[in-house]
């Protein structure tokens, strides 16, 4: 017996799906935003070019950056444009430094990209009597675990107008000065190495440099960094000492130079 096919509807075609938006790797963007402004050329930080270009193209679309600078290099023009975008959102002070934060980065690319590997400073808290953020505390706790000892903090983060010799590096997040009281030269180096291992740009500051002995540490890729801390992070990656003279890095060699997130992976 034949079954009539009259009246049977053909299956509806599946509705076309919207193309997925490209992704911006926030870790890569932050690394470039620290390193690229400190370069002597317009080189692109390895692994960051595609993400930085997407951010720059979004800034171009908002009329904040000339299209010629949408080149994957997060240089000073891109920093300035991003800071202008942050100000357009109502941000001021440290929140409008040109260093991307998770909220502004997502808002900038709301219709053009999505954000992956998000980096957050977390909330502010007190640890060892010093102000810092959640991310910085986690890094410090891990360094203390590696060392098997507690570390004293002589200056924390979010300390605008604090110690004059700090040149504003402690105005934002991720900055710590660590006491070396009672430490031998070998121990100072060991502590500095452990801090570098977990993602700090860290140096021993000395009387010959105009300081009392201490260890100065900046959490790499902290999105709350002050401009001074941002520059020190870039100089650390590029092999400098984080001071105005930009002399060669005089700290213990740690390879590769990793952020906290890279260390955890």
Does residue 5 have a pLDDT over 60?
no
- Residue 18: what pLDDT? 65
Q: Taking the domains of the chain in order of start, what are their residue ranges?
A: 23-116, 124-264
Name the average pLDDT for the chain.
93
- Section 28-34 average pLDDT: 98
- Average pLDDT of 136-145? 98
The reported pTM is: 0.91
Say if residue 15's pLDDT is above 90: no
Please state whether the peptide bond connecting residue 47 to the residue before it is cis, i.e. omega within 30 degrees of 0. no
Q: What is the pLDDT of residue 4?
A: 45
Q: Which three-class secondary structure state does DSSP give residue 24?
A: strand
């Amino acid at each position: 017996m034949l079954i009539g096919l009259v009246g049977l509807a053909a299956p509806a075609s599946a509705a076309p799906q919207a193309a997925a938006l490209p992704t911006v790797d926030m870790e890569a963007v932050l690394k470039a935003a620290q390193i690229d402004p400190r370069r002597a050329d317009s080189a692109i930080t390895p692994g960051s070019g595609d993400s930085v270009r997407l951010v720059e193209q979004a800034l171009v679309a908002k009329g904040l950056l000339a299209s010629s600078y949408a080149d994957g290099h997060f240089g000073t023009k891109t920093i300035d444009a991003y800071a202008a975008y942050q100000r357009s959102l109502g941000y001021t002070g440290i929140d409008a430094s040109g260093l991307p934060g998770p909220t502004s980065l997502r808002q900038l690319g709301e219709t053009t990209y999505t954000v992956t590997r998000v980096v957050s400073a977390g909330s502010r808290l007190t640890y060892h009597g010093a102000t810092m953020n959640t991310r910085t505390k986690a890094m410090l706790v891990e360094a203390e675990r590696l060392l098997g000892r507690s570390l004293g903090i002589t200056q924390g983060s979010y300390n605008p107008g604090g110690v004059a010799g700090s040149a504003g590096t402690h105005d934002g997040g991720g900055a710590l000065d660590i006491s070396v009281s009672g430490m031998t030269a070998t121990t100072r180096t060991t502590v500095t190495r452990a801090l570098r291992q977990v993602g700090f740009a860290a140096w021993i500051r000395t009387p010959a440099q105009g300081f009392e002995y201490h260890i100065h540490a900046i959490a790499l890729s902290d999105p709350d960094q002050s401009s001074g801390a941002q520059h020190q992070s870039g100089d650390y990656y590029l092999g400098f000492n984080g001071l105005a003279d930009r002399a060669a890095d005089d700290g213990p060699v740690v390879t590769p130079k990793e952020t906290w997130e890279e260390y955890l992976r």
